[in-house]
Chains A and B, each alone.
Chain A
Amino acid sequence: MPKRDLLLAHANERDLTQLGEYRAVGGYEPLEKARAMEPDELIDELVASTLRGRGGAGFPTGRKASLVDRSGARPSYLVVNADESEPGAFKDREIMRRNPHLLIEGCLIVARAILSRNVFIYIRGEYVTEYEILQRAVDDAQADGLFGDVDIVVHRGAGAYICGEETALLDSLEGKRGQPRPRPPFPPIQGLYMSPTQINNVQTIATIPPIVRMGASEFLKIGPENSPGTALFSLSGNVVNPGNYELELGSTLRELIFDVGGGVPGGREIKAIIPGGSSVPILTPDQLDTPMDYDSIAAAGSFFGSAAVMVIDERCCMVQLALRAEKFYMHESCGKCTPCREGTRWLVQILEKIEDGRGEYADLDLLDDVGSRILGRSLCALGDFAVWSVQSYLRKFRAEFEEHIELGRCPFGGESSIEGILAPSDQHHRPIATVPA
């Protein structure tokens, strides 16, 4: 299976967090090349590469850059989305931890393309170690004179999934509550501080130096025609060797889970696979030969998403899994749009009722009905994520939902792999009696 290192090349042999080591393997040469090119040429190169965003939505990166208003009427900004919070995804963390200069170099290249002098990297607040590594790399690169007239600010989040949504991230970065904005206007026209803004995921930006180095025509030879390049696949769940693996796009789920991941512990059967983070529709073992690229996963009824592959073995109760997922979306709904704020709460209540053995057949239709009233009715996709996941569980494992209703209890009877899991929303927040000194 096609393993290929673009993002983590040399990271196993060298400590690439050190500027000298990164330079020793040709680091910052692509930046030099980019600075010798005209911004338009650079954007043409990105368009020609057909690179698609690795954050989840898969929007063509070059096209996004070409939309940025570079008239100079207002300053343009580059914002990097390092608020990695999709359940299952831990790839950006690996890039920042092990190859931070690759991200910084990508930022400087894109800043040149869109004529930006201000770059903001919005890193999730929980990534403390990654922040320290990245900030040190930023300081080193700046001290080395690599920035020119560009400034890079690393901005730390404070715990909110919604801030990975691009417009919520912009509001958060502006010092507001991180809630999504209506679109249009889209960020390339009016983004951060009402100015033209390019916003990309960490991995997308980190893929740009290799593209500039090899040229778009070479990049196009990697992976399938419509989804060139590599991705860092985050493999988790019931698998022998979980972790991040960089593979060419188009590698199959089976190759990742079995050849790289070593299969399921104890030889247990796979029950379901989440192919792109918890927000995407779930797949079943008969779909293991699906190539992992944007078009093939879409054809299989799901999304490439953030390439976060979660393996679920036969011991898991799907109603419990759905309930845990929905509690997450309920907790993370920012509250701005009624369908998502209220709808996610409804989904949790219905699923709780079914899992507790109080469910009726009508509740299954109610799940679908509530879902249909959330889908497409909010400013961002968070509510859609909540519905895509639960509706796919229901569609593919309807018999299991029905069994809960038929028996009047959970058929797993305390033996499900995620039995009794406690979500943050279940916590009793009791303040302590005395203020510690």
Chain B
Amino acid sequence: MTELYDEIQQFRARYPDSRSAVMPALRAAQERYGWLSPGAFREVAEALDLTPAYCKGIATFYDMYHLEPVGRHSVEVCTNLACALVGAQRVVAAFEHELGVAAGETTEDGSVTFRTIECAGGCGYAPVVVVDGRYREPVVPEDVAALVEELRAEA
């Protein structure tokens, strides 16, 4: 059995009902493969005695599961009310300019997927930008070029 299978069995043991392990299992699969491919769904399903369709049905409900390949890095800008009030749209524009893609797209070299998100819970430190899952608060348009440079250097 694979390492992922073993990891999922550990999640399973934490819950009275093994179905509850589907979210941590999908997260683990995504962390391993970068996105949830049909093969990833088959692996998760087998480890939990569910069907791949059931697992995909769960994944499609939530925003954080990737159903298609994404870039090696992820940049997300919150544009909900608190961030919008203090200039999130200018931060979005700055990223679009620096990365050369629109929100929802991935750069051609596959290094960065850029998207806007709903409230990330950083309203007091707005505008909030989430880079590879970590919050940068606040980010102003002037910070964007250096941030993109940092990601390109890592890519």
Contacts and interface: CB of A to CB of B under 8 A. Distances in A.
Interface in B47-102: 57-58, 61-65, 68-72, 79-82, 84-89, 92, 102
A366 B133 CA distance: 41
Interface string A415-426: 001111111101
A90 to B, nearest CB: 5
Contacts of A431: 68-69, 106
Contact of B85 (A155, A172, A237, A244): A237
Contacts of B63: 158-160, 424
B110 A158 contact: no
Nearest to B113: A432
Contact of A234 (B72, B123, B130): B123
A301 to B, nearest CB: 19
A429 interface: yes
B57 A436 contact: no
Given A236-B123, A421-B84, A436-B69, A157 B62 contact: yes
Interface residues of B, number: 60
Contacts of B26: 158
Interface in B101-117: 102-106, 108, 110, 113, 115-117
A173 interface: yes
A245 to B, nearest CB: 9
B72 A422 contact: no
B32 interface: no
Contacts of B88: 421
Nearest to A86: B119
Interface stretch (A104-112, A118-126, A341-349, A396-404): A118-126
Nearest to B58: A177
Contacts of A435: 69
B69 A85 contact: no
Chain A CB within 10 Å — which of B64, B82, B92, B115 has the most? B82
A71 interface: no
Interface in B20-36: 20-24, 26-27, 34
Given A160-B62, A177-B57, A422-B79, A244 B124 contact: yes
A242 B81 contact: no
Nearest to B24: A156
Contacts of A324: 79-81, 84
A405 B137 CA distance: 38
B65 to A, nearest CB: 6
Nearest to A125: B64
A436 B119 contact: no
Contacts of B92: 422
Given A157-B62, A160-B61, A332-B118, A430 B86 contact: no
B122 interface: yes
Contacts of A186: none
Contacts of B64: 125-126, 158-159
Interface stretch (A13-21, A223-231, A308-316): A308-316
A427 B68 contact: no
A243 interface: yes
7 contacts: A87-B82, A88-B81, A93-B122, A155-B23, A157-B23, A238-B85, A324-B81
